[in-house]
Amino acid sequence: MRKLFTLAAFVVVAACGADDPPFRPSGNVGISVGPNGVTPNVGVGATNGTFNVGLSL
């Protein structure tokens, strides 16, 4: 009976996507030159291939 519950637990964990790839961090830094002068740009984020999360300053 214990083996059956263990197998069921593994199936549920595999089905819910717990084995997705980890989030990869990303970042960028840049400088824009325009009529208002020089403006720095900074961005950080993370992605796992399906979802992207980011913040730009």
Domain assignment present for 10: no
The number of distinct structural domains making up the chain is 1
Domain assignment present for 16: no
Domain assignment present for 31: yes
pLDDT at 43: 93
In tens, the pLDDT along 3-51 reads 777 777 766 666 555 556 678 888 999 999 999 899 999 999 998 878 8
Q: Is the pTM of this model over 0.85?
A: no
pLDDT at 15: 57
Domain assignment present for 33: yes
CA–chain centroid gap for 25, Å, is: 7
Query: In angstroms, rounded to a whole number, what is the distance separating the alpha carbons of residues 15 and 12?
Result: 5
Owning domain of residue 47 = 23-57
